[in-house]
Structure 1
Amino acid sequence: MPEALEQDYTLQQLQQVTLALNSGQFVQVRRILAETAPCDTALLLESSPHKVRTQLWKLVDPDIQGDVLEELSEDVRLGIIAKMKPELIAAATEDMDDDDLGEVLRSLPDTVYHDVVSSMDTQDRERATQALSYQERSAGALMNSDTVTIRADVSLDVVLRYLRLRGDLPDGTDDLYVVDKDNCFIGALPLSTLLTNPPDHLVQALMDEDKESIPISMDETEVAQLFERHNWISAAVVDDNNHLLGRITIDDIVDVIREDAEHSLLSMAGLDDEEDTFAPVLKSSRRRSIWLGINLLTALLAAFVASFFENTLDILPVLAVLNGIVPSMGGVAGSQTLTLVIRGIALGHINQTNQRFILGKELAIGALNGLLWSLLIAGVVALWKWDFTLGAVIAFAMFMNLLAAGIAGASIPLILKRMKIDPALAGSVVLTTVTDIVGIFAFLGTATWFLT
C-alpha cells in the first residue's frame, strides 16, 4: 500500500475509534483496536485527553498491551502503568525485546518496579535484571540479545541448512555474526553474501573482518552517529573482552535520533521532551513554572542593571523608547549562533580540535554584522531624532552587543558541555542574560557618558 494511502487509512481508523467511543459503542471500539497496529494504537492514546485515554486502554487487547507500551512516550506510559496492577504489567512486558523491557522498567517507581519483578517468572526476571544492569542511554540499554552466530570454519551450505532448521530470523537481520569458540566477535557475514556465493565456500573466506563492533558502554548518541555515518542496519555489541553480547538495530537508532531532536527543540523552551500533550493542567503548569521562574530572575537582573541609569532616563526619555532595540538584536543574533553550535555538538562536528576556529569565526561574524547594523541604526536614529550623537551612541551599543552575542552564542554551549550541563536546556537562559545586560549597559552607559 502506498505511503499516502496508508496514512489516510490510519487516520480513518483513528476517526472511527473516536466516533464509536463518543457514541458508547465499546464493542465496536474493541474490534477496531484489535485490527489496529500497536504503533497506531499508541498514537491514538497519546492524542486523547486523559479520561478518554483511560477508557481506550481498558479496551486494548491484553495480548498486545506490551507492544503498545513500547511505542508510548514515557510520560503517557507512566500515566497508564500507574493504574495497572503489577501482575498485569508483568504480563504485558513478557514478550518485549530486552531494550524495550529495560526502558519500561526504568520508568517505573521503585515500589511498583519491585512488585512487577516479583510477578514475573524466573526467565523474565533474569531478562529484566540483565536489561537493567546496563547504564541508561548506553549501547547496552539499546541492545537486544537476539543474534544469529556462526563459526568461521564452516561452509555456506552448513550455514544455510542451519538457518532452515532455525525457521526464522530476528527482525532487522542483515548480518550473521561470526564468533570463535570463546564467543568473541571476529566478523560478520552479510546475508547478501551468503545467498550469492557458491555453497562450498567457507565463511572465513567471505566474511567481513573489518566490520566494526560497538562497545557496550558507548553513549547512545555516539552509536546513532556511527549508524548514520556507516549507513548500518544493525551492529554487534561487545564487552571489554570483545565477547558478543547482542546487537543494535536501525529501528532503535531512529528512536534515538528522534528523541535527541525533540530534546534539543523542547529544551530550549524549558519543556520536557517526554511531556504528555494532554497531561493534567496542574502537572503541566508546575513543570513550566520552574522555567518561567528562572526567566523572571534573569529579567530582574537586567532590570537591576537598567536601574543604575534612572537619572539618565529621566533626563532623556527618548532612551526608554530605544532601549529595547539593542538587547533584542543581540538576543536574535546570539540565538542563531547558539542553535548552530548546539547542533554541531549534537552531530559531533564540533570538538576540542576545532573549537578555537568556531569561536574565531563567530567573533568575525559578530563584528561584521555589528558594523553593518550599527551603521544602519545610527542613520535611522540620527534622521528620526535629528541627533547624530544619539545615533553614534546606539551604533556603538549595537556593535558591542552583536559582538558579545557572537562570542556568547559560541562559547556558552562549549562551556556548559564541559561542565556536563545540557546546552539545549540552559544555553538560551544564559545567552539572554548576557545579551540583555551587555545591551542595556552599553546603550545606557554610553548615553550617560556622552549625552548628560
Structure 2
Amino acid sequence: MEAREQKRDNLEKLNLLLDGGRMRSARVMINSLHPSELARLLESLPRKRRAVLWELVDPEIGGDVLVELTNAVRDDLIEGMRTEELIAAVEGMEVDDLADLLIDLPEAVTQEVLQSLNKQDHDRVQQVLAYDEQSAGGLMNVDIVTIRPDVTLEVVARYLRFVGKITDGTDSIFVVSRDNTYIGSLFLSRLLTRDSNEIVANVMSTETTPIAADTPSAQVVWEFENHDLLSAPVVDDAFHLLGRITIDDVVDVIREEAEHALMSSAGLDEEDDMFAPVVKSAGRRALWLGINLATAFVAAAVVDIFQTTIDKVVLLAVLMPVVPSMGGVAGSQSLIIITRAIALGQINKDNVGGVLRKELMVGILNGIGWAIVVSLLTFLWFKEWRIGAIIGAAMVINLFVAALAGFCIPLILKRMNVDPALAGGVVLTTVTDVIGYSAFLGLGAAFLL
C-alpha cells in the first residue's frame, strides 16, 4: 500500500512540476528515482507528457529505465530516439539487460550498438541472444567470476579484491575445472567464516544442481522456488558453465507470468500500453471480440434448433442460462489447473491418465451435488418435478463435459503451439455453452413435449 501511495504522490508532484513549467526541478526529481520507479511513472503518463519527461532523463540511466518498461511503452520511446542516443543509453549496461533490450531495437540500430561494444561484451551479448528469451540461457548473466577448486580461500579473497566487482545478487562463486566444467559453488558466507588456508574443494558445495541453458523460464522459477535458491549456475549440454541466474531475474519472470495470465483471461496483450492510440488498442481488442461473437452465434444457433420446445415450455427459457453458466465455471477451474501444470512441466505421459480421471471424478461429483440442489430449487420455484429432473440431469452432463474439456483443451492447444492461457477460455466457453444448451433443451424436448 505504501509503495502505491508513494507512486501516486510522485505522479502528482511530477504533474504539478510539468504543468508549472519547472523542468529543472522535474529533471532533478526523476533522476533521483530508481530506474524501476521511473519506469512505472513513465507508464502512468499520457504519450505526449511521457515524451517530454523522457527528454529529461539522464543518458546514464536511460538504458536501465528502458529495460524496466513494458514492451509497448519501450517501443514507443525508442521510435523517437536517434541511434546515437540509443548507443549512449545502453553504454555500461549489464550484458543480460542489454541483450533483453536489443531484441526490441530495429535491426540497423542493433548492429550499430553491437559494433560499439568491445569484443568481450560483444561476444557475451551474442551468447545470450543465441538462446530463447524465455529460457535459462536468455535469462542468465554471463558476466561472472569463477575460481579453481585447488586454491585456498585466501587466494580467492585476494582475487575478488583484485577484480573489484561482482554481479549484484551474487551469493556464491562458481567453481570450475580448467576446461570450464562446473564443479560446485563456494558460498560467500563460507569464504568469510572459514579458515583462509582451507582449499576451495573442501569448502565448496556440490548440492546446487546447475540449470541447462535450454530450460524454459517457468521451470527455472520452479527450481528456485523448490530449492530456495538465490542464484544458480547455467550450463550447456557438456556441463560447461555459461552464466548465472539470480533471484531478481526470477522475480521478473513471475511478474510477467502473472500479468500474462491476467491479461490473457480477457484476450489482451500483457504489454498493452494504457495510453496507446485508440485505433491501435481497438484493433487489438476487436480480434477477440470477433471470436467471442462467432462463438456466441454458435450457441445461439443451438438454442434456435429448440425454438419450438421453448415456445411450448416457456419455463425452459427462464432456466436456460443456469446450466451453461455452471459448466463454464467448472470448466474454467479444470482449465486453469491444467494450464498451470503445463507451464510448470507437471503433466507427462506417465501421469496424464491419473490427472484426467481425477478431473472427471471431480466433475461428476460436483455435477451430482449441484444437480440435487438445482433440482430442489426448481421444484420449489415452479412446482414442476419434471423440469427439476431435466435441469439436474443436464447439470451432470455439462459439468462432466466441462471437466473433460477443461483438461483436453490446454493440451490440444499446446500441441498446436497456441498459448492455452490466451485461447483456452474462448474455446471452453463455446463447448460448455453448446453442450449446456443442447443437454437442457434436448432433454426438455424429449420429456416435456
Query: Pairwise CA RMSD of aligned residues?
Result: 2.0
Residue 118 of structure 1 and its aligned partner are, at CA, apart by 5.5
Alignment partner of 1:337 out of 322, 328, 334 = 334
TM-score in terms of structure 2 length: 0.94
Alignment partner of 2:82 out of 74, 80, 85 = 85
The question of whether the paired residues in 1 share the 8 Å contact of 2:7 and 2:41 is answered with no
Residue 125 of structure 1 and its aligned partner are, at CA, apart by 4.5
Q: Provide the residue aligned with 1:407 in structure 2.
A: 404
The question of whether the paired residues in 1 share the 8 Å contact of 2:95 and 2:143 is answered with no
Match of 1:237, SS state, is strand
Give CA-to-partner distance per residue, 1:21-53, whole Å, 9 cap, x none. Answer: 122211110111121111111110011111111
CA distance in 1, matches of 2:158, 2:380: 87
**Which amino acid is the alignment partner of residue 389 of structure 1?**
R
Using the TM superposition, name which of 249-258 and 383-392 deviates more: 383-392
Residue 437 of structure 1 and its aligned partner are, at CA, apart by 0.5
Q: 1:151 to 1:112 in 2, by over 3 A?
A: closer
Q: Provide the residue aligned with 2:357 in structure 1.
A: 360
Alignment partner of 1:288 out of 285, 289, 293 = 285
CA distance in 2, matches of 1:8, 1:436: 43
The question of whether the paired residues in 1 share the 8 Å contact of 2:364 and 2:399 is answered with yes
**Which amino acid is the alignment partner of residue 42 of structure 1?**
A
Residue 123 of structure 1 and its aligned partner are, at CA, apart by 5.8
Residue 127 of structure 1 and its aligned partner are, at CA, apart by 4.4
TM-score in terms of structure 1 length: 0.94
Residue 441 of structure 1 and its aligned partner are, at CA, apart by 0.6
Alignment partner of 2:66 out of 49, 58, 69 = 69
Alignment partner of 1:45 out of 42, 46, 50 = 42
Using the TM superposition, name which of 110-119 and 51-60 deviates more: 110-119
Q: How does 1:124-163 map to 2 (within 5 A)?
A: 125-163=122-160
Match of 1:274, SS state, is coil
Q: Provide the residue aligned with 1:217 in structure 2.
A: 214
1:195 aligns with 2:192: yes
Give CA-to-partner distance per residue, 1:156-203, whole Å, 9 cap, x none. Answer: 111112122222322111111111111221111111111111111111
CA distance in 2, matches of 1:13, 1:383: 58
Share of identical aligned residues, percent?
A: 50
Q: Provide the residue aligned with 1:271 in structure 2.
A: 268
The question of whether the paired residues in 2 share the 8 Å contact of 1:271 and 1:288 is answered with yes
Where structure 2 has 5 or more consecutive residues not aligned to the other structure, the ranges are none
Q: How does 1:2-401 map to 2 (within 5 A)?
A: 4=2, 11-114=8-111, 116-117=113-114, 125-401=122-398
The question of whether the paired residues in 2 share the 8 Å contact of 1:377 and 1:391 is answered with yes
Q: Provide the residue aligned with 1:451 in structure 2.
A: 448
Using the TM superposition, name which of 31-40 and 249-258 deviates more: 31-40
CA distance in 2, matches of 1:12, 1:389: 62
Q: 1:164 to 1:113 in 2, by over 3 A?
A: closer
**Which amino acid is the alignment partner of residue 303 of structure 1?**
A
Where structure 1 has 5 or more consecutive residues not aligned to the other structure, the ranges are none
Q: 1:133 to 1:427 in 2, by over 3 A?
A: same
Runs of 4+ in 1 over 6 A off after TM superposition: none
Using the TM superposition, name which of 342-351 and 295-304 deviates more: 342-351
Give CA-to-partner distance per residue, 1:112-168, whole Å, 9 cap, x none. Answer: 434554566666554443332222212111111221111111111111121222223
Match of 2:300, SS state, is helix
